[in-house]
Structure 1
Amino acid sequence: MISKYALVPLFCGLILACSAPEKEFGKDISTSPDQIRLGKELFKQQCSNCHNFEQDGIGPNLSGLTRTVETEWIVEFINNPQAKIDAKDPRALALLEKFKVAMPPFHALGEEKINSLLSYLHTYETVQAGEPDSVVNLIEAGIPDSGIRLELELFAQLPASDSVPPMAKMTKMEPIPGTDRLMINDQRVGIYQLVNQKPELYLNLAEQRPDLVSKPGWATGLGSFVFHPDFVENGLFYTAHTEPGGTRPSDIGYTDSLDVFMQWILTEWQAKDPASLKFEGSSREMLRIDNPSQAHGMQELAFNPNSKKGDEDYGLLYIGYGDGASVERGFPAISHNDAQEVYSSILRIDPAGRNSRNGKYGIPASNPFANTPGKAGEVYANGFRNPNRIFWDEQGNFYATDIGQHTIEELNRVEAGKFYGWPIREGAFVINPYGRLRRLFPLPADDEKYGITYPLIQLEHDELAAIFAGYIMGYGELKGKFLFGDILSGRLFVSDLSAGPSPKVESLLVVYEGKEMTLEELVGGRVDLKFGIDADKRVFIMSKNEGKVFLIK
């Protein structure tokens, strides 16, 4: 299966698919210094997370693009790439087959900005690719259809926060512990409460934090939230959001030779009246981290739902933090830091403590590196590229989904102090973080000496492009099994995580209003899949495309 969608910015799929033409292209592109400077800034914001001018990234190497491809074609592709694919354009189809993904339309940029981008791109000559990409089907067995069909019904609709898809940018929907109050976020706005299935704005984060930015990219804004297990008594909850780089002095950063594009901020909020349907109260910033891109930051906040008062883990906050796309930027040492810093890690902190470097939170004494000189005591486990969802099963096993670079998507069973491979492994394959990131190699004979823990489940990009965890189902035909999916296409999968070291994965479809279909068909395009759960453990499927929430019956 070839997915049509991608977590890529502006120019995914733009590179010459055939031999270089004889005619000279780009003669009509402006070389104005002012326009080039504007284009450089636009490229940094919109494109650099997935593209560079030396090698293929998530999208292709863009060096020499304007010198080898017709300007008109590039502009048409930027405005509506899917139209090129639908029209069976040979170049578009060849690139879709190579990269497996395409981008959404960017017609909203307008002619002036697109021309500025072209001016900047035209400053680069062609750089020839080095070693070839890895072949597909590194994991030969395909994913079979389970035959299971999930019946969905429309449950809620978030108000549009933009005029073009994604109409609403929800990432999480969970109840306040000990209540049936169901909370859901929009990354651009804040936190809503669903009252009788209707959204009522609980926390207007855009108003409370005017520096909040939810563009460019998909992984910015209000990335995650979580309510304290004792919220009904103490009124505490936590958010992770983004602001532009340099907005405030950071608590954690990196070499100054790499730009700070974004900052991720962890905030503690305290409601005056925990029962109120609208937040009133105070807040305090706990942690501010520099990030080199709009991606792979503080994407998940969670408390262990199995812990009880008196347990060592009770009230400790888990945080998933990725590599910030530092590897793609050419700075893999930021990610591969041997737990010396918080990047590419799952963190565990005590919000009530004050023994951290900035004195605003605590480092639990039981953390694996809490008392190790030269290590970041916050780190619980490391070696993740983008641990976008973390969760526990009823037996207490701890898991994290990790979005891969170009080839492998992972589900890991997480244990304290373990190293999960990134950026020297993608799945159970070797990757050279200083080389061609689309190239994977077999594990060496002496692999054990590296101390790497490998995924419980690894899937290749010919099956899905970006993994996202749902929940272990507590009802229906999937009871006891783990439901997850592909963020982009919305393709759904199921697995029994208790079935040994390599559990079987199967796919499934949905039924809506009596018709069997895919989620792409249901929402009319790119799905931007997320999952939610309520106090009765009913599981929901959410799509940013139209801001809809569907209940799995």
Structure 2
Amino acid sequence: MKKQALSIALALLLIIGCNSKSNHPFGQDIPTDSEQIAIGKSLFEQNCSSCHNFTQKTIGPNLSGLTTQIESDWIKSFIKNPQDLLEKGDVRTKALLDEYKVLMPAFSQLSEAEIDALLSYMHSFGPEALLESAAEEALEDPIPEKTMDSGLALELEFFTQIPASDSISPLAKVTKMESEPVSGRLFVQDQHGKMYELVKGKPKLFFDLRAIRPDFVSKPGLATGFGSYSFHPEFVDNGLLYTSHTEKPGSKAADFAYADSIKVTMQWVLTEWKTANPSSKSFVGESREILRVNVVTQIHGMQEIAFNPHAKKGEEDYGLLYIGIGDGGSAENGFDFISDHKGSAVWSSILRIDPKGKNSQNGKYGIPKDNPFVGQNDKAPEVFAYGFRNPNRIFWDPKGRMMASEIGHKHIEEINLIEPGKFYGWPRREGSFVINPNGDMDKVYALPSDDEKFGATYPLLQFDHDEGSAIIAGYFPNSGIFKGKFLFGDVPSGKVFVSDLNESSPKMQKVGIKYEGRETTLQELCGKPRVDLKFGQDKSGQVYVLTKADGKIYRVVN
């Protein structure tokens, strides 16, 4: 996994200097009045702050001084539609894609006046970007081992097309595809608010969250909207379904909030829905809110909720809901203390609650008596495990072991074996490497010799960003050439990997793609460089591949 280290000079040449005139006084055409800057600040916080700031690189480049180094027309075109620039062969856009491995989504919904205001706000951070020289101790290539090719391929066949919910890619933001556990009815949800039942391979609208919740928001994307769903294990009898979604800040008082001086970009809401008829083909019933959480940005929210599929009636874990909540983008926006809480708060945590109970602080859910921090005054009793940046999928292997995938910051993607009460490192560790949340978070360092006293639990499997930049956990096929192995991948590129998680030190291998008898890639299949890969599985164990870029679902046939 050889990490290509760009020097500062090369980064400037590729990302800032390409095609520019060396002495052009860029930015002189940008208005600088305070009212325009204030409008731009509001737009930036709503649309851009989850991926950019003016002190360091995060998901995207540090924007300080950008408007003094690149012509305004190019910046505007990039904000409107970077995919269009890439298809036209724009050198800067290609360089950005090469370095960051993912292309920024289009913001075509912004008007010319709004983009002008954005540039005014960005222009207030100049005149030059401050670049920090690399520390000698930083690791350029944290995981130098190469990922080998398995020699195997997923053979895919087209299964269904989900209706488009947007006019630009991703056309249908399908993120989760699982069955109701008893009947086997198969469902898939679109982050823009709709949930479909797949009936004989055809999507039939079951539930429209946007229509029911007027404060529901799914723009500008990056995991906002309809986050996840999970059916109660007794849904066929009690009709209970649980969802997570985002709403406008201040829609209601939050159960979990931080200091008023820190901005709130979104509220994540966990809701219980009770359908009047569990066998109905569309939802009709009532709902109640269980909990509400404020987050600093729109990223790293409540993207996963799940019941343990292995728990049997009468066992401690039966009917208990697990909730993955990321750091809300707090660490990389200067509020690392929100996620660095030692188990005393819900952010950067996996929660475990009894949705039928009443002994929580808000009286709307229960705290299981065997949760690891019950009875400890300085801890949050809902917390099952903590120290996560973005636990975007929670799953169980065939042995019943609980695991979670963790999307990293700049270097490391993780699969963690989840155990009660354990600390998984964020925001002071990225994978099994040191990170400084109060300095340059783009750099990672080797663990110190006395690391045991830090008390972190490290990944079962990890890889660096030479292989992929945003892990998505998959499933364990119960038949075929991948039986018992774990299939997973990289969200943006659509690369697929396989691993035997039963090994003491699991390794990952690359997996090819075949469609209609020929070798291909998911990028080629969907016709986009950003695939937005997801996986699904039905009750029989059949695994599916989802590509959000075009809203298509493929069935794995081998």
TMscore range, shorter length: over 0.9
Match of 1:453 in 2: 457
CA contact 1:14–1:65 (8 Å) conserved in 2 = no
The answer to whether the 8 Å contact 1:2/1:463 transfers is no
Task: Map 1:341-360 onto structure 2 (within 5 A).
Answer: 341-360=345-364
2:344 maps to a residue whose letter is Q
Distance 1:363 1:442 in 2: 38
- Report deviation, 1:190: 2.4
Alpha-carbon distance change, 537 to 52 in structure 1, aligned in 2, over 3 angstroms:
same
Equivalent position of 2:315 in the other structure = 311
What SS does structure 2 have at the residue aligned with 1:38?
helix
Tell me the residue number matched to 1:7: none
Q: Which amino acid in the other structure matches residue 53 of structure 1?
A: F
- CA-to-partner distance for each residue in 1:366-406, whole Å, 9 max, x for gaps? 00001111100000000100000011112111110000011
> Which residue is equivalent to 1:265?
269
AA aligned opposite 1:523: C
Aligned to 1:10: none
Offset, 1:264:
0.4
What is the match of residue 131 of structure 2? 129
Q: CA 1:17 to 1:405, structure 2 compared with 1: closer, same or farther past 3 Å?
A: farther
CA distance in 2 between partners of 1:252 and 1:170 (Å)? 28
Whether contact under 8 Å (2:27, 2:68) holds in the other structure is yes
Deviation at 1:488, TM superposition (A): 0.8
Greater CA drift, 250-259 or 101-110: 101-110
Q: CA RMSD of the aligned region, Å? A: 2.0
Equivalent position to 1:511, from 502, 510, 514: 514
Tell me which of 390, 398, 408 is aligned to 2:394: 390
What's the secondary structure of 2:16's corresponding residue? coil
Report the more deviating stretch, 69-78 or 509-518: 69-78
User: Residue 236 in 1 paired to residue 240 in 2?
Assistant: yes
Q: Distance in 2 between matches of 1:354 and 1:115?
A: 50
Deviation at 1:42, TM superposition (A): 1.5
**What residue number does 1:60 align with?**
61
1:336 and 2:337 are equivalent in the alignment: no
Match of 1:100 in 2: 101
8 Å Cα contact 2:2/2:146 also seen in 1 = no
How many Å separate the matches in 2 of 1:370 and 1:193?
38
> Please, which moves more after superposition, 269-278 or 187-196?
187-196
Do 1:411 and 1:458's aligned partners in 2 also have CA atoms closer than 8 Å? yes
Query: Which letter maps to 1:37?
Result: A
Whether 1:117 aligns to 2:118 is yes
**Structure 1 residues 459, 67: closer, same or farther in 2, change over 3 A?**
same
In structure 1, the partner of 2:220 is: 216
User: Given the alignment, which residue of 366, 374, 396 partners 1:370?
Assistant: 374
Question: What SS does the corresponding residue of 1:34 show, helix, strand or coil?
Answer: helix
In the TM superposition, residue 2 of structure 1 has moved relative to its aligned partner by: 11
Which runs of 5 or more structure 2 residues have no equivalent in the other structure?
A: 4-12
- Secondary structure (helix, strand or coil) at the match of 2:37 reads helix
Q: Normalized against structure 2, the TM-score is what? A: 0.94
Against the structure 1 CA distance between its residues 92 and 281, is the aligned structure 2 distance closer, same or farther, given a 3 Å change threshold? Answer: closer
Corresponding position: 1:522 with 2:520: no
Offset of residue 458 of structure 1: 0.8
Could you say what secondary structure the match of 1:116 adopts?
helix
Amino acid at match of 2:16: L
Pair 253,47 (structure 1): closer, same or farther in 2 beyond 3 Å? same
CA contact (8 A) 1:20 1:68 kept: no
Which whole-Å CA distance do the structure 2 matches of 1:33 and 1:26 have between them? Answer: 16
SS in 2 for 1:387: coil
Question: Do the aligned partners of 1:235 and 1:272 also contact (CA within 8 Å) in 2?
Answer: yes
1:162 to 159, 166, 184: 166
Query: Percent of aligned pairs with the same residue?
Result: 54
The verdict on how the C-alpha distance between 1:14 and 1:209 changes in structure 2, with shifts beyond 3 A counting, is farther
User: How far did residue 444 of structure 1 move?
Assistant: 0.5
Q: How far apart, CA to CA, are the structure 2 residues paired with 1:104 and 1:298?
A: 21
What is the DSSP-based 3-state SS (H/G/I as helix, E as strand, rest coil) of the residue aligned with 2:67? Answer: helix
Q: What number of residue pairs does the alignment pair up?
A: 543
Instruction: Show the 5 A alignment for 1:396-407.
Output: 396-407=400-411
**Alignment-derived partner of residue 9 in structure 1:** none
Contact 2:275 2:283 (8 Å CA) reproduced: yes
Amino acid aligned to 1:405: H
SS of structure 1 residue aligned to 2:75: helix
2:139–2:446 contact (8 Å) kept in structure 1: no
What is the rounded CA distance, in whole Å, between the counterparts of 2:486 and 2:225 in structure 1?
A: 28
Structure 1 distance, partners of 2:469, 2:204, is 33
1:465 and 2:469 are equivalent in the alignment: yes
Aligned partner of residue 367 in structure 2, secondary structure: coil
CA contact 1:66–1:122 (8 Å) conserved in 2? yes
State the 1:90 CA deviation.
4.7
- CA contact under 8 A between 2:15 and 2:95: conserved in structure 1? no
Give 5+ residue unaligned stretches, structure 1: 4-12
1:415 maps to which of 400, 406, 419: 419
Matched-pair contact (CA < 8 Å) for 1:327–1:423: yes
Q: What SS does the corresponding residue of 2:290 show, helix, strand or coil?
A: strand
Q: How far does residue 14 in structure 1 lie from its aligned partner after superposition?
A: 10
Contact persistence 1:528–1:543 (CA under 8 A): yes
**Contact map agreement 1:15 1:60 (CA 8 A) in 2:** no
